[in-house]
A and B are shown apart, each in its own frame.
Chain A
């Protein structure tokens, strides 16, 4: 089955710890994205990548880092510098970067930091 997987589904961490969220896709998509969703709000873009070893900051990149060492993988690290890390994190992919390419989402990771 082709699709996007994210793991884990739920993640709990103590304040001050870095945590890495996994995102893998087998759709052969070039573009990958990370979004954050807070209760009652839309999605906000954290980082995106069009090709391996290249990525761009989105609207709320502070306190986050990413890597794109393989086409199918785009992990997100939430660092201790992120002031309000508790949120629902969504990874998406698209055939390419461009306004007419549909983005498809993984199942998400719900991160709770206490």
Chain B
């Protein structure tokens, strides 16, 4: 069974700090990785995707991929209370996404 693992949290950080969210995956054939943000009671919203080893930056968000270690992370700089949500990691292979259970982030003012 191909799996994606995330620490369910909650991860608590103070406002303005860097939040680091981590994800490991078992399928070495995974070609793509996605981070979704899900507010309570709402549907997931795509915030980042990464296909190549290394870092990808978009505003306050940086996704990091290390295929050798089967590890992908999401860094949120200058965390805001509005970033408080559950972050879902997913990897893709043949068009089917495998999701982790999500990490709940709490940003405290």
Question: Do A and B bind?
Answer: yes
Which residue numbers of A lie inside 8 Å of B, CB to CB? 31, 40-45, 48, 50, 58, 90, 94, 96-108
Which residue numbers of B lie inside 8 Å of A, CB to CB? 4, 8, 30-32, 34, 36, 42-46, 49, 51, 88, 90, 92-97, 99-102
Q: Which residues on the A side are within 8 Å of B4 (C-beta)?
A: 42
15 pairs from A and B in contact (CB 8 Å cutoff):
A31-B95, A42-B99, A43-B90, A48-B96, A90-B43, A99-B30, A99-B32, A99-B92, A99-B94, A100-B31, A100-B92, A105-B44, A106-B43, A107-B43, A108-B43
A42 with B100: in contact, given A103-B46, A105-B44 (CB under 8 Å)? Answer: yes
Interface of A is mostly: loop
Q: How many residue pairs between the two chains, A and B, have CB atoms under 8 Å in the bound complex?
A: 61
B42 touching A107 by the CB < 8 A rule?
A: yes
B95 touching A48 by the CB < 8 A rule?
A: yes
B45–chain A nearest beta-carbon distance, Å:
7
